[in-house]
């Protein structure tokens, strides 16, 4: 009788330990992920930040391409809606970028779109992304991240220079700079 009760207690404790391990593991995986800035907030920030780029014409509506794929359709719509009609926007897939880029001032790459920055560089067009990693790595010039629970402007100076773009010191002073 004693051994059966001991065995039941051990099994109960093992189950409890397994549940605790699962919660701890899931909790750590959530904190390990980078939290991105919601699309509508990125759009609102972008309309403000572009005013500090002397290469972007301010005497007419800014023209922006939004590059998306099938996995980013919902994000694309939220982003464009967040712009509130402040820009001329055309949404395209990556395969159409090269044919359309010359008529635009800015290219915004939705999360998951990568490997097309060379087209922006060749055409001297500002690249913007939802992916903080692509700005950190120098693939894209401008992006937005979260720092201390607040949106943060991210600028990669090397990528910016390769695109023939710049920002005033006002933006560089408040942004997080990568080289």
Dihedral of the CA atoms 172, 175, 178, 179 (nearest 10)? 0
Dist. CA 51–CA 49, nearest whole Å: 5
Q: Confirm if 135 and 24 have CB atoms less than 8 A apart.
A: no
pTM of the model: 0.78
Q: Per-residue confidence of the chain (179 residues) as pLDDT tens digits?
A: 556 666 665 565 555 444 554 544 444 333 333 457 888 899 999 999 999 999 999 899 999 999 999 877 667 888 899 898 889 999 999 999 999 999 999 999 998 898 999 999 999 999 999 889 999 999 999 999 999 989 999 999 999 999 999 999 999 999 999 99
How many other CB atoms are found less than 10 A from the CB of residue 131? 22
User: What confidence score (pLDDT) does residue 152 get?
Assistant: 94
User: What confidence score (pLDDT) does residue 24 get?
Assistant: 44
Three-state SS for 32-82 is HCCCCCCHHHHHHHHHHHHHHCCCCCCCCCEEEEEECCHHHHHHHHHHHHH
Strand pairing partners for 152? 145
User: What confidence score (pLDDT) does residue 33 get?
Assistant: 37
Which distant-in-sequence residues (6+ apart) come within 8 Å of 53 by Cβ?
126, 165, 166, 167, 168
Tokens 């055409």, residue located: 123
Tell me the domain boundaries of the chain. 1-33, 39-178
Q: Choose among 140, 144, 138, 139: nearest CA to 126.
A: 140
Dist. CA 103–CA 70, nearest whole Å: 24
User: What confidence score (pLDDT) does residue 112 get?
Assistant: 86
Q: What CATH superfamily is the domain 39-178?
A: Response regulator (3.40.50.2300)
């Amino acid at each position: 009788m004693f051994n059966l009760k001991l065995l039941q207690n051990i099994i109960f404790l093992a189950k409890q330990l397994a549940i605790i391990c699962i919660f701890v593991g899931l909790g750590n995986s959530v904190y390990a992920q980078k939290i991105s800035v919601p699309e509508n907030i990125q759009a609102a920030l972008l309309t403000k930040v572009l005013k500090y780029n002397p290469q972007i014409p301010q005497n007419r509506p800014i023209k922006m391409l939004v590059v998306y794929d099938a996995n980013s359709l919902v994000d694309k719509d939220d982003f464009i809606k967040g712009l509130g009609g402040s820009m001329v926007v055309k949404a395209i897939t990556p395969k159409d970028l090269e044919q359309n880029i010359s008529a635009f001032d800015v290219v915004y790459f939705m999360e998951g779109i990568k490997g097309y920055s060379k087209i922006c560089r060749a055409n001297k067009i500002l690249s913007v992304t939802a992916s903080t990693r692509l700005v950190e790595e120098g693939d894209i010039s401008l992006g937005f991240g979260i720092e201390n629970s607040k949106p943060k402007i991210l600028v990669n100076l090397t990528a910016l220079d390769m695109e023939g773009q710049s920002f005033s010191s006002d933006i560089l002073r408040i942004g997080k700079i990568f080289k």
